[in-house]
Amino acid sequence: MLVYVPLEHIDGRYTVHMDRDIEAYLNAEGLEYVKVMPTTETPSLPEGQFLNAAFTSKFKALQIAEISAMFESGKINDGDTIFFSDIWFPGIESIAYMKYFTKKDVKITGIIHAGSFTDTDFVRDMERWAKNFEDIIFDISDTIYCASNFIKDDIIKKRMVDPNKLVVTGLPVDYSGLDQHLGQDKENIVIFNGRLCDEKQPWLFDELAKQVQARVDFPVRFVKTQEENLSKEEYYSLLGKSKVIASYALQENFGFGVAEAVYLGCQPVLPNRLVYPELYPNFELFDNFDQSVEMTINALTDYRYPSSTAPDAQFKVQEEIFDVWFPRQDDL
């Protein structure tokens, strides 16, 4: 049996579509599973943050309570797997504790999205204590799925971990939602869809807008999507109409926002660092700010639909990823 431990749903983030698509896959494949989802309440997010720390702590505590009850009642047995949509999960050590005392051969697997090992990450300042917690995660887990070789290599360099536990799979992009917005007429719109925080450097997008608008003889709309209060459908529609997606990120291990924009035909203006050279090898990447200005102007004045937007160009389709995350017993 699979015990599926999803992230809480956060409007506008990948947590909603990933949960939907995982469940659809598990049901279609006829896999036996229990979903540990104590509430569908949606938390509000402080500006620039990727979660609500108090809400996610409460949510995870409720999930651990449900899993503990399953151990206590004997519902969890040898050969079962507990899969975490985010394995950076406070309380996960209690699973190893219960495994030890119940003598149950249960596998712990899940996705690592980021951590204090990433130099420019939002949680870097927690490293003094988080490092020890991350070493526990890497020790007690059986398999940890990584979005890219970039994050895998970063973990291996900075944490105590068996490299064989780290499996690069990519992450599931919301193709079913995006497909409805393919083929729209393009407008002179430049998008910044990163969070409004230091590690994404949104002020450089403001400077990009000033310099580009001063040099072109037509109006250009520059949009920070985090300021627009868009529904998911409105957000995808905006991407479908836009010509350029710009990022100045100092931290990125995958990047759903850029992946979504490129899939919908936005020319990427991305820095030559982090995960971008790995995921976008067929695109020019900038080495300095001035280059990003030139690339944006060129994309607006001589727009060409990106030739590498097919799902297999940079990213695996969902079924390929889920086949690895949720192997059948006879595949183990």
Amino acid at 93: E
pLDDT at site 49 = 60
pLDDT by residue (tens digit) across 195-221?
998 899 999 999 999 999 999 999 999
**Looking at per-residue confidence, does 188 or 310 come out higher?**
188
Express each pLDDT in 19-43 by its tens digit. 999 999 999 999 999 999 998 777 6
The domain 2-173+316-331: what is its CATH number?
Answer: 3.40.50.2000
Average pLDDT, the chain: 92
pLDDT at position 118 = 87
* Topology classification of domain 176-314: Rossmann fold (3.40.50)
> What average pLDDT score do residues 278-300 get?
96
Q: Of 284, 293, 265, 266, which Cα lies nearest the Cα of 209?
A: 293
**Given a cut of 50, is residue 97 above it in pLDDT?**
yes
Please state, for a pLDDT cut of 90, what percent of the chain lies above it.
81
Higher pLDDT, residue 162 or 329: 162
Locate CATH 3.40.50.2000 in the chain.
2-173+316-331, 176-314
The pTM score is 0.92
What b/e readout covers 168-197, taking b as 16+ CB neighbours within 10 angstroms? ebbbbbbbebbeebeeeebebbbbbbbbbb
Q: What is the pLDDT of residue 315?
A: 59
Tell me, what's the pLDDT at 311? 41
Q: Write out pLDDT tens, residues 49-79.
A: 667 888 999 999 999 999 999 999 999 999 9
* 263 pLDDT more than 60: yes
- pLDDT value, residue 41: 77
Bridge partners of residue 286, in order along the sequence: 271
pLDDT digit string, tens, across residues 122-173:
788 899 999 999 999 999 999 999 999 999 999 999 998 999 999 999 999 9
**Run of H or E residues at 276:** helix 276-279
When computed from its CA atoms, the radius of gyration of the chain, rounded to whole angstroms, is 21
What whole-number percentage of the chain has pLDDT above 70? 93
| Strand order, beta sheet including 244-246 | 221-224, 189-192, 244-246, 267-269
Task: Give me the pLDDT at residue 39, please.
Answer: 82
pLDDT of residue 12: 74
3-class SS at 237? Answer: helix
Q: Specify the pLDDT at position 10.
A: 84
Taking CA atoms, 240 is separated from 177, 244, 261, in Å, by 12, 10, 7
